[in-house]
Amino acid sequence: MSELGQGKIVKVAGPVVVAQGMSGAKMYDVVRVGEANLIGEIVELNNDMASIQVYEGTVGVGPGEPVVNTGAPLSVELGPGLISSIYDGIQRPLDKLYALEGSFIQRGNALPGLDRDKKWQFKATVENGAKVVAGDIVGEVQESSLMLHKIMVPLGVEGTIEGISDGEYTVDAPIATVKADDGSVSEIKLMQKCPVRSQRASKQRLAPNRAMVTGQRVIDTFFPLGVGGTACVPGPFGTGKTVVQHQLAKWIDADMVVYVGCGERGNEMTDVLTEFPELKDPKSGKPLMERVVLIANTSDMPVAAREASVYTGITIAEYFRDMGYRVALMADSTSRWAEAMREISTRLEEMPAEEGYPAYLGARIASFYERSGRIECLGSPSREGALSIIGAVSPPGGDLSDSVVQATLHVVKVFWSLQSRLAQQRHFPAIDWLTSYSFYKQYLKECFDDKAMAVEMDDMIKEAMSLLEKEADLLEIVRLVGAEAISKADQIALAVAKSIREDYLHQNAFHSVDTYTSLEKQYAMLKVILHLYKKGLEAVEAGINPVDIFKIEAMEAIARAKYIPESEVSKIVDIANQIDNQIAKL
């Protein structure tokens, strides 16, 4: 048949279809399957037999129906119109699909990822006659009030710009041509296509150089995420994985966010779809969606689309990274993605490894997280971009020995361990301070303008953590031999550790002030709590009874410090004086 490979279905097994007569086809070619023209991708090739994962329901599709190879890999459309979009796993705009067909997505429907009719105001930033190479920025489109979309020369194009001018263009109209040295001419459009399964090119990978402030105290202070870093949030059901991801989407110090949602409960994605469009960007007051792209997998969508969704999401994220932006990608939950891989693998009759997952589970998870990083972008002007990835994992029963958790922990540099015990005590975020870790701790200091403050914060963080560790030991002693067994100084340590937990680490995502804490405020809060420790120790040394110290009014002020607005941080600093005065009166 055709040289690309065009065959006939011999077998249908759920999301996997086997076709023969596919000689000429390549791995990962996208094919159209059956009379219904379903979208699929070749995931296994054996002579002229191809196994195809199909992105749409295969009910009613049967042997004998045709399979047509497009010869192209699974790709996304990149250009103006991405921002604010809500896509399914293969970049079909959900809102348009729903509008067309009610809540049922009709099969075989290939709505483009980017609107073909909308016109964008393009402003050129290079002149005609300029020499350009791949990655060069040639102009801009103000895509939303929060995002300036840079138009870049696609890979493989190089030469002299001709016919570029400002104006209104649709995404597939040429904005310029590039004439190569050999005389061949390529068109540049606002839109480019890019395969999703491999990383987009960059000039150079750079090491992390600073932390990303999230405004979440337990994260920033104890377990910070680096710019271009990776983090994993595993936890049992109901421990706050989704709330952590939403808080990060809102507050993380990134220019734009890609949120890939794989709903755990049937209605969870519906929540995301209704909730996100209502969220405000806290810094600008504009809708958060003006710097967000949402990829949504509802539970009624085929598994193959869920398998593809993280690739679609990360390719879009890399594209914005390449413009020179700081991008953050959240995936909630990667366990649903791994389960999709497992189901397809089973249908392919591959040899299962642990827990039925395919043997390549670890490699796939690693290659996903390896697409994070801080980079020097291709092309000029010279610029840096970064992509950070935060994945939630929901192991059955919260068991950390689960294959997906283990494979993820091998690659990520931050581990925020959510505990049911804490969630049950309503201690949120339920991030366990004793078992979580971050390899980016040394980069927090780069986030402070005041270097002396940064150094002091570093010391305070160490002191606070050692108090929390001490608390765990002391509580064990109290449990075994009773409270009388510990010294007065240790009673002070216990009280201060409790204050660190309750007044500092505990943070209510739904309180208008408490939801975000700047680093300056984190510094002030921690300083006051540790001041109490110092003064408390001095007081017991001078013979004062610890019980009396715990009764001072300043204790109440410390507990309320988190509700003091950012503009009044000096009031937190003042609590130290109250502590001094009130202890002096004892």
Which stretches of the chain bind Mg ion, using CB under 5 A? 241-242
Q: Is 334 in the site for ligand ADP (CB under 6 A)?
A: no
Q: Which of 6, 69, 239, 388 binds ligand ADP (CB under 6 A)?
A: 239
Is there a contact between 122 and 151 (Cβ–Cβ < 8 Å)? yes
Nearer to Mg ion, 170 or 333 (CB): 333
Decide if residue 230 touches ligand ADP (CB under 6 A).
no
- Per CB under 6 A, the list member of 53, 242, 315, 438 interacting with ligand ADP is 242
Instruction: Choose among ligand ADP, Mg ion, none what residue 510 binds, the Cβ cut-off being 5 to 8 Å by kind.
Output: ligand ADP
Count the site residues for ligand ADP by CB under 6 A. Answer: 14
**Which CB, 399 or 553, lies closer to ligand ADP?**
399
Quick check: 243 binds ligand ADP (CB under 6 A)?
yes
Q: Which does 544 bind (CB under 5 to 8 A by kind): ligand ADP, Mg ion, none?
A: none
Q: Which two tokens stand for residue 291?
A: 């710097």
Only one of the segments 25-33, 77-85, 95-103, 236-244 lies at the binding site for ligand ADP (rule: CB under 6 A); that segment is 236-244
Binding mask 410-439 toward ligand ADP (x if CB under 6 A, else -) reads ------------------xx----------
Q: Among candidates 67, 59, 73, which has minimal Cα distance to 19?
A: 67
- Interacting positions 474-513 with ligand ADP (CB under 6 A): 507-510
Q: What's the N-to-C CA distance of the chain in angstroms?
A: 94
- Inter-helix orientation angle 361-369/334-347, to 10°: 140
Q: Which stretch binds ligand ADP (CB under 6 A): 189-197, 235-243, 302-310, 557-565?
A: 235-243
- Of 401, 398, 310, 397, which Cα lies nearest the Cα of 355? 401
> Taking a C-beta distance cutoff of 8 angstroms, is the pair 123, 139 a contact?
yes
Q: Taking the alpha carbons of 5, 11, 13, 14 in that order, is the dihedral positive or negative?
A: positive
SS (HEC) of 525-544? HHHHHHHHHHHHHHHHHCCC
CA angle 447, 449, 453 (to 5 degrees): 90
Which positions from 506 through 565 interact with ligand ADP, judged by CB under 6 A? 507-510
Token digits for 143? 């895509």
Shortest Å distance, C-beta 168 to Mg ion: 42
Which one among 107, 150, 217, 241 touches ligand ADP, defined by CB under 6 A? Answer: 241
Sheet-wide strand order for 120-124: 148-152, 137-142, 120-124, 167-169
Under 8 Å between Cβ of 128 and 161: yes
State which residue, 97 or 392, has the beta carbon closest to Mg ion. 392
Q: Which residues pair with 189 in a beta bridge?
A: 174
Smallest distance from ligand ADP to CB 251, Å: 12
325 binds, among Mg ion, ligand ADP, none (CB under 5 to 8 A by kind): none
Measured from the CB atom, is 170 or 333 closer to ligand ADP?
333
- The entry of Mg ion, ligand ADP, none near residue 237 (CB within 5 to 8 angstroms by kind) is ligand ADP
Output 177-181 pairs: Cβ under 8 A, ≥24 positions apart. 178/132, 178/153
- Name which of 304, 284, 361 is nearest 33 in CA terms: 304
Q: Going residue by residue from 295 to 324, which x/- string records binding to ligand ADP, judged by CB under 6 A?
A: ------------------------------
What residues have CB less than 8 Å from 385, skipping those under 6 apart?
Answer: 202, 320, 321, 322, 323, 324, 325, 326, 327, 374, 375, 377
From the CB of 508, what's the least distance to ligand ADP, in Å? 5
Residue ranges in contact with ligand ADP by CB under 6 A: 235, 237-243, 428-429, 507-510
